[in-house]
């Protein structure tokens, strides 16, 4: 066995975008989240509809919240980073890298040059309970029941004013510049939007603009890679089995 170390240089920029909502705010509904739907589908149970609570109480159950802190701090309102990623992927259909779109209807190159170190975007200025003001929106919807359209009441928490931030790591050796990332975020805020009834779904909620951007360049950071070369006498058994020797 022979082990050597390869040293390579990594250049990146950490970009933190501060966002501010556009009118009329954001509508949330974790019921559209794939993880939530997977849980419901695996349970194979029809949840019972409550009728003994107010519209405000019902809509409050449809808010996204972060995990509670290990020090006992409360879970805070915000939205999962996955929602922002989906927003940027959608924006990639309108933003080009060279001659090609960053995203198509079926694929994206977003992750070739961007990493997302955070899991959740917390709203700014939450109170001691982790909340910012929200109101109830009650609307009429249609449920497809056995081929028939049945009128149902739809409730959503409407957050009229919100601010948040998120950070990306841009690999500057991938041929994508900072201006392209800014264009993605700007397009995502205007054309795509976050959460329910956003522009991509013919709504007007979830839009935002960039209010501030912070930049931290990390140039030529050294990364060491261990390279181990075996011969048949000392190679791991599972590797020899895969090689058929």
111 alpha carbon, distance to own chain's centre:
13
Residue with tokens 């249609």: 142
pLDDT in tens, 174-219: 999 999 999 999 999 999 999 999 999 899 999 999 999 999 999 8
Count up the domains in the chain and report the number: 1
What pLDDT shows up at residue 127?
A: 96
In the chain, where does DSSP find H-type helix? 34-43, 55-60, 81-91, 178-187, 237-243
Q: Which residues of 28-43 are buried (b: 16+ CB within 10 A; e: fewer)?
A: bbbeebeeeeeeeeee
> What pLDDT, in 10s, does the model give residues 38-74?
545 555 555 556 677 788 888 898 999 999 877 778 9
Burial status of residue 81 (CB atoms within 10 A of its CB: 0-12, 13-18, 19 or more): middle
Condensed to tens digits (0 to 9), the pLDDT of residues 23-39 reads 899 999 887 554 444 54
User: Residue 34's pLDDT is what?
Assistant: 47
CB-based contact 208:20 (threshold 8 Å)? yes
| CB-CB contact of 162 with 132 (8 Å) | yes
- The whole-number pLDDT of residue 48 equals 58
CA 188/CA 190 separation, integer angstroms: 6
Instruction: Provide the domain limits for residue 18.
Output: 2-243
What mean pLDDT value characterizes the chain? Answer: 89
């Amino acid at each position: 066995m022979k082990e050597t170390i390869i040293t390579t240089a990594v250049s990146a920029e950490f970009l933190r975008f501060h966002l501010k909502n556009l009118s009329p705010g954001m509508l949330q509904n974790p019921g559209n989240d794939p993880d939530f739907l997977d849980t419901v589908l695996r349970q194979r149970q029809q949840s019972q509809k409550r009728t003994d609570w107010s519209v405000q109480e019902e809509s409050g159950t449809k808010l996204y919240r972060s995990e509670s802190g290990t020090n006992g701090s409360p879970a805070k309102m915000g939205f999962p980073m996955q929602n922002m990623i989906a927003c940027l992927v959608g924006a990639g259909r309108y933003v080009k890298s060279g001659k090609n779109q960053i995203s198509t209807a079926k694929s994206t190159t977003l992750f070739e040059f961007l990493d997302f170190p955070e899991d959740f975007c917390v709203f700014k200025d939450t109170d001691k309970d982790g909340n910012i003001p929200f109101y109830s929106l009650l609307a009429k919807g249609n449920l497809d029941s056995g081929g028939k359209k049945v009128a149902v009441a739809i409730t959503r928490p409407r957050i009229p004013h919100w601010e948040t931030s998120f950070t990306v790591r841009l690999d500057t050796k991938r041929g994508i510049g900072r201006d392209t990332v800014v264009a993605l975020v700007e397009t995502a805020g205007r054309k795509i939007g976050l959460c329910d009834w956003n522009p991509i779904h013919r709504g007007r909620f979830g839009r935002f603009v960039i209010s501030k951007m912070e930049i931290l360049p990390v140039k030529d950071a050294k990364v060491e890679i261990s390279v181990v070369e075996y011969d048949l006498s000392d190679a791991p058994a599972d590797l020899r089995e895969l090689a058929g020797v």
